[in-house]
């Protein structure tokens, strides 16, 4: 739980819990907090950590609606909260259900502290909505909020800091032991579009990409997993067409069996 300065005034903070990585971009007039952790207590820890680096007014952006990225916002209030427009819809339609499910899961695992914190957590809805692109002036630098297609969810938002050549990618990029994990893929995933989203991030010519989970990476990591996702799409199409069986697809996949099976099961 320490800050890593990936560029001048651009910081990443990585946590043991879920290997989550949050971000902070500091301008001369305000700062931007990228994702707020998973509950009110975790958000309070992050807010205090931000105040170790800057006392500037803050804005918040959600890379997507999943609890570990968007539920820790109340300690930052008052502030503006940016997100893709479909992120708002997801939080309105399913936020309370997601919070209850996660609380129950933590409680069953014996982690009463996080379960209790989730039960005390209020979900803050975004009030600055992005369709494809928006910009925020932090003073001396401008950050861009970009939706480049559907990937991990249908509302993934990446944060581009052009003057620093840094992109905060949320869970469009994950840096687990094998790149992605089985949890990267769900019924919200758009596997067919995901490689194109990585290609669009590469087109920004980043020097550093901060993933939603794990340590910052370079463009070579994105190219590797763009190609890996393309291969998963090929395998999924072959299984759907009856050209190959699921077991054979798993055996020839560039990813572990659990990751491959999760990817093949996406809609």
User: Domains (ranges, CATH) in the chain?
Assistant: 3-264 (3.60.15.30)
- Alpha helices (runs of H) in the chain, residue ranges in sequence order: 40-53, 67-70, 85-108, 112-119, 194-202, 219-240, 246-252, 257-264
Distance between CA atoms of residues 56 and 130, nearest Å: 24
Q: What is the tens place of the pLDDT at every residue in 187-208?
A: 999 999 999 999 999 999 999 9
pLDDT in tens, the chain (267 residues): 799 999 999 999 999 999 999 999 999 999 999 999 999 999 999 999 999 999 999 999 999 999 999 999 999 999 999 999 999 999 999 999 999 999 999 999 999 999 999 999 999 999 999 999 999 999 999 999 999 999 999 999 999 999 999 999 999 999 988 899 999 999 999 999 999 999 999 999 999 999 999 999 999 999 999 999 999 999 999 999 999 999 999 999 999 999 999 999 999
The whole-model pTM stands at 0.97
For the record, the structure tokens of 9 come out as 């005034």
pLDDT of residue 1: 77
Query: At which residue do the structure tokens 């600055």 appear?
Result: 128
Cβ of 196: how many Cβ atoms within 10 Å?
17
């Amino acid at each position: 739980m320490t800050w890593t300065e990936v560029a001048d005034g651009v910081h990443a903070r990585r946590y043991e819990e879920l290997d989550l990585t949050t971000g902070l971009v500091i301008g001369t007039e305000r700062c931007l907090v990228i994702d707020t952790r998973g509950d009110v207590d975790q958000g309070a820890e992050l807010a205090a950590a931000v105040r170790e680096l800057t006392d500037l007014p803050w804005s918040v952006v959600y890379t997507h609606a999943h609890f570990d990225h968007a539920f820790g916002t109340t300690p930052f209030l008052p502030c503006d909260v940016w997100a893709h427009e479909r992120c708002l819809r997801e939080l309105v339609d399913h936020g309370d259900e997601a919070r209850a499910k996660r609380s129950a899961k933590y409680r069953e695992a014996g982690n009463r502290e996080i379960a209790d914190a989730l039960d005390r957590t209020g979900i803050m809805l975004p009030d600055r909505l992005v369709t494809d692109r928006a910009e925020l002036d932090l003073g001396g630098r401008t950050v861009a909020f970009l939706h480049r297609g559907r990937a991990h969810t249908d509302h993934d938002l990446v944060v581009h800091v052009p003057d620093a050549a840094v992109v905060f990618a949320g869970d469009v990029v994950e840096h687990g032991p094998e790149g992605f994990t089985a949890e990267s893929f769900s019924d919200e995933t758009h596997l067919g579009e995901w490689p194109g989203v990585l290609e669009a991030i590469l087109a920004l010519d980043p020097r550093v990409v901060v993933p939603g989970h794990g340590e910052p990476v370079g463009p070579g990591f994105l190219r590797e997993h763009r190609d890996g996702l393309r291969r998963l799409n090929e395998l999924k199409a072959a299984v759907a067409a009856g050209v190959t069986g699921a077991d054979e697809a798993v055996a020839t996949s560039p990813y572990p069996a659990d990751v491959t099976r999760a990817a093949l099961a996406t809609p």
